[in-house]
Amino acid sequence: MDNHTSAGQCLRDAIAAEQPLQMVGVINAYCALLAQHAGFKALYLSGAGVANASYGLPDLGLTNIDNVLIDIHRISAASDLPLLVDADTGFGDPAGTAERFIAAGAAGMHIEDQIEQKRCGHRPNKHLVSTEEMCDRIRAAASARNNSDFAIMARTDAFAAEGIDAALERIHRYIEAGAEMVFPEALTELEQYQQITANIDVPVLANITEFGQTQLFSVDELASARVAIALYPLTAFRSMSAAAEQAYTSLRQQGTQKSLLDTMQTREQLYQHLDYYRYEQKIDEVLDDDDK
């Protein structure tokens, strides 16, 4: 991202350049650096990632906008990749949420049509607000943008509760209300994505999350359905968590980490990702100047 291109425009450019755009979830600033160095062109901060990783809580609406903003600030300061952020149901103030996300450095947000006491999109017993109430959320978020490039994405959980036709009807209304991208949650078949993309002209996101309702479609399969964004919200977090659990267990049982060394990122690899030596050189230069 250069100094003259907004974060929102960078997100749009990434979507246009890579079909579908592979967007990966990051739970902290260092993960953002790892994703950027791996070649990804856009990042994602999930509400579950904030709740689970930063606060050790389930994703049941227990965290607030201030919790999310902390992670947005840290991630956007570490990486210049555009960051799409999960805004849940808007935290009771979609307009204020959009304003604060923009100020924190986010490229866009998605807002959903569940009630305030929301559930994970791949869990049962989700309850939706009316289509008009969701449209009010979208209109409020869109009208509050002080940067027209900030992306407003509408997520709908209607498929599980109301079926594909009702989900499509809601999607059309959400686009009319100002949504520039859509996120149909918990679809189960590739044909369902094809049905949606055939009926609308805005980018569609597929949430390719593990252990949920959606199959782990490949980028080629998603491209065939004209999906614009392939989202992997917690893939790295789940992998990291399994590795950490194994490391803690092994260290506790064996009394040494020797058997774990081959599975670790080395100190040198860490330094390369952090650009450690450049920072160290700057400190040495300051110390040399002080000695003169």
The residue annotated as part of the active site, out of 12, 74, 100, 110, is 110
Res 2 pLDDT > 80: no
Confidence (pTM): 0.94
Taking only the tens place, the pLDDT of each residue in 17-40 is: 999 999 999 999 999 999 999 999
Q: Closest by alpha carbon to 89, among 107, 115, 109? A: 115
Q: What average pLDDT does the chain have? A: 94
- Residue 155 appears among annotated catalytic residues: yes
Interior angle at CA 178, CA 174 and CA 181, nearest 5: 70
**Integer Cα distance of 106 and 37 in angstroms:** 20
Residue 188 has pLDDT above 90, yes or no: yes
The catalytically annotated residue of 52, 74, 113, 120 is 120
Percentage, residues of the chain above pLDDT 70: 95
Torsion of CA 108, 112, 117, 122, to 10 degrees: -100
List of domains in the chain:
7-240 (3.20.20.60), 256-292 (no CATH)
pLDDT at 147: 66
Is 185 one of the catalytic residues?
Answer: yes
Q: pLDDT per residue over 233-254, tens digit each?
A: 999 999 999 999 999 999 999 9
Q: Is 252 a catalytic residue?
A: no
Catalytic residue list contains 88: yes
Give me the catalytic one of 59, 71, 113, 157.
59
**13: annotated active-site residue:** no
What is the per-residue pLDDT across 37-66, written as a single tens digit (0 to 9) for each? 999 999 999 999 999 999 999 988 899 999
Could you read off the pLDDT of 194-216 as tens digits, one per residue? 999 999 999 999 999 999 999 99
Query: One of 10, 170, 193, 207 is an active-site residue; which one?
Result: 207
pLDDT band at 126; cut points 50, 70, 90: confident
Q: Is 120 one of the annotated active-site residues of the chain?
A: yes
Residue 292 has pLDDT above 70, yes or no: no
* pLDDT at residue 118 in the model: 74
Class of residue 284 by CB neighbours under 10 A (exposed 0-12, middle 13-18, buried 19+): exposed
Distance CA 213, CA 226 (A): 20
